[in-house]
């Protein structure tokens, strides 16, 4: 791993522009950044590792990336009472998609509820876990993995920024940009809920208009609704999905 591309505090903290990322809790290696944040830390605290030995995905899955290739971070948030924590997955996905677009100049999408897609491949994932009244929002973003280094056999094919455009990137500026974008989206969401970011979300909705499969039935993805659920048009009826995953035609 080139020294210049570690996510050590000395390289990342000078690039931070807001409150997210303070304090910046870094370990070169950890089991999962989801386990590094003490609930007594202030909102905006972030945990970062250059490699995880037991990275966690949604629905009991694992999340793997070779050392020094990805952004692996977890953020401590204390959302206002009454807001659905699940919406934070969408905010994380939106901020990651925007950061990917800024870095690559390519359009990125959000595959409900938590995947960041680039060129039809999953380059990032978001995991929201509650801890008392706090939420630990984990984001994994595949930056510099070669094709050979990406996991195979996933239901949604994995990608990375490097595998998409053959450009190796420093991760520190990308992480700082991601945190700044997430803070902006979060502040807007605190004030006005998902409506505040709905246009940005809707315009990146990967499943909208796609053929999808739900409990054995075939339908068309209508889109993410204003409360963060996903609406599917099935023959003769509409269904709103609260959580889980939606299979789609590749």
- Using CB under 6 A, list all residues that contact ligand BTN: 32-34, 52, 55-58, 61, 63, 72-74, 114-115, 125-127, 138-140
Take residue 183 and report the two structure tokens written for it: 């803070």
Four-residue CA torsion sign, 163, 140, 1, 4: positive
**CB-nearer residue toward ligand BTN: 138 or 159:** 138
CB 103 → ligand BTN: shortest distance, Å?
A: 18
Instruction: Describe the strand order of the beta sheet including 108-111 as a list of residue ranges.
Output: 24-30, 46-52, 70-77, 134-142, 121-131, 115-118, 108-111
φ/ψ (deg, to 5) at 39: -65, -15
Tell me whether residue 70 or residue 103 sits nearer to ligand BTN (CB atom): 70
Min dist CB 62 to ligand BTN, Å, is 8
H or E element at residue 161: helix 161-165
For residue 150, what are its two tokens?
């990406």
In angstroms, give the least distance from the CB of 143 to ligand BTN: 12
* Residue closer to ligand BTN, measured from CB, 125 or 159: 125
Q: Closest separation between CB of residue 32 and ligand BTN, Å?
A: 3
Considering the complex, state which of residue 140 and residue 193 has its C-beta at the smaller distance from ligand BTN.
140
């Amino acid at each position: 791993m080139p020294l210049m591309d570690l996510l050590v505090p000395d390289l990342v903290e000078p690039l931070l522009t807001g409150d997210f990322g303070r304090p910046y809790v870094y370990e070169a290696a950890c089991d999962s950044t989801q386990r590094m944040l003490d609930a007594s830390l202030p909102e905006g605290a972030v945990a970062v590792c250059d490699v995880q030995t037991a990275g966690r995905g949604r629905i009991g899955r694992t999340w793997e990336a070779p050392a020094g290739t990805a952004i692996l971070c977890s953020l401590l948030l204390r959302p206002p009472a009454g807001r659905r924590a699940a919406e934070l997955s969408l905010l994380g996905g939106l901020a990651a998609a925007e950061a990917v677009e800024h870095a690559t100049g390519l359009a990125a999408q959000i595959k409900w509820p938590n995947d960041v897609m680039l060129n039809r491949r999953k380059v990032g994932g978001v995991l929201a876990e509650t801890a008392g009244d706090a939420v630990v929002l984990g984001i994994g973003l595949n930056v510099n993995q070669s094709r050979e280094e990406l996991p195979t056999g996933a239901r949604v094919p994995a990608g990375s920024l490097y595998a998409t455009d053959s450009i190796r990137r420093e991760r520190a500026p990308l992480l700082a940009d991601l945190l700044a974008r997430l803070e902006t989206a979060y502040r807007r969401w605190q004030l006005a809920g998902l409506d505040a970011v709905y246009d940005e979300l809707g315009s990146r909705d990967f499943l909208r208009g796609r053929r999808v499969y739900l409990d054995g039935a075939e339908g068309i993805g209508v889109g993410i609704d204003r409360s963060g659920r996903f609406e599917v048009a099935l023959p003769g009826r509409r269904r709103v999905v609260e959580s889980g995953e939606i299979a789609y035609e590749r």
